[in-house]
Amino acid sequence: MTDNSTVTADRRDGLAVIYTRGYINNQAGEEIARVAYSLIDEGHKALLLNLEGTTIVNSIGISILIEIIEKMIEIGGRLAFCRLTPTIDKTFHIMGLTQYAPIYGDEATAVAALRG
Amino acid sequence: MNGQAILREVTLTLPMAPDMEVAASKTATAIAEFMKMSPDRIDEVRMAVIEACINAFEHSHSPDRQVTMTFEVVGKGEPEELRITVRDSGVGFDPETIEEPSIEAKLREDRKRGWGLKIIRGLMDEVEIHSGREGTTVVMSKRRR
């Protein structure tokens, strides 16, 4: 189910914010990856994933997010998350994702940190 | 069970088909709401249910392509705990041989998956796995608070 899952991006001078909606499963994860790799190809080296519109993810979707983190490490870029539900935040901590992609409470703080 | 009784029980049989994990998570949510579990704890149950279903769907190789789930509200008069049993009739596995995933290793490996049990254990209060030639049963519990 993509559960009306949609992925959109907002480009801002080398930094891009990716917005998700709905359940992040394998299909939505692949759509996020497609958008992220397209942004990387355009030259964006800082990506922020704003998950405000997502209340549930599964481990298949997250494994695709790990692929994006790996790609960002390869190109010397930075990826961060913001607006996570407490459960998604907890899950990312359980998995250790936050060692490589920090989590911020709000978008403005995350953007400032990625630009810093 | 320390004098605890089963106050409500719901059994669900799910085909191993796309999105069926979401149906299971909706049932878990409805029962947890009945128990007046907090929204954050309900979300954790919901995610654990999704992971347990996906594990069964993907790894059990169950010939009947079905998962049976039982949701039990247990307590002494008042709901105290939600116990969820996820059962398949697949090939089974030895939980002791499952390597604990780490992000450092996953970033090096081609295979990024294999997180289900770690997530379930991290989100639920208690998890037991019984597995053998007749299938796998995962029993996971979450206290109301």
Mean local confidence (pLDDT), A37-59: 97
Q: What is the pLDDT of residue B98?
A: 87
User: Which residue of chain B comes nearest to A73, CA vs CA?
Assistant: B107
pLDDT in tens, A99-109: 999 999 999 99
Q: Examine the pLDDT at A2 and tell me if it is beyond 80.
A: no
- Distance of residue A88 Cα from the nearest chain B Cα, in angstroms: 9
Q: What's the pTM value of the predicted model, to 2 decimals?
A: 0.94
Q: What is the pLDDT of residue A66?
A: 98
- Distance of residue B77 Cα from the nearest chain A Cα, in angstroms: 29
Task: Enumerate the residues of chain A whose CB falls inside 8 A of the CB of residue B20.
Answer: none
Determine the distance from the C-alpha atom of residue B34 to the mean position of all C-alpha atoms in its chain, rounded to a whole number.
Answer: 19
Determine the distance from the C-alpha atom of residue A86 to the mean position of all C-alpha atoms in its chain, rounded to a whole number.
Answer: 16
Residue B12 structure tokens: 């669900």
- The answer to whether B50 contacts A58, with C-beta atoms less than 8 Å apart, is yes
Task: Enumerate the residues of chain A whose CB falls inside 8 A of the CB of residue B116.
Answer: 59
* pLDDT under 70: residue ranges of chain B: 1
pLDDT in tens, A24-35: 999 999 999 999
Mean pLDDT of chain A: 95
Residue B43 touches chain A, beta carbons under 8 Å = yes
Residue A109 phi/psi, 5-degree rounding, is -65, -40
Confidence label for A14 from pLDDT (cuts 50, 70 and 90): confident
- The answer to whether B112 contacts A91, with C-beta atoms less than 8 Å apart, is no
- Distance of residue B99 Cα from the nearest chain A Cα, in angstroms: 14
The DSSP symbol for B99 reads P
Q: What is the pLDDT of residue B109?
A: 94
CA dist A73 to A46, A58, A68, Å? 11, 23, 9
Distance CA A100, CA A88 (A): 16
Q: Examine the pLDDT at A4 and tell me if it is beyond 60.
A: no
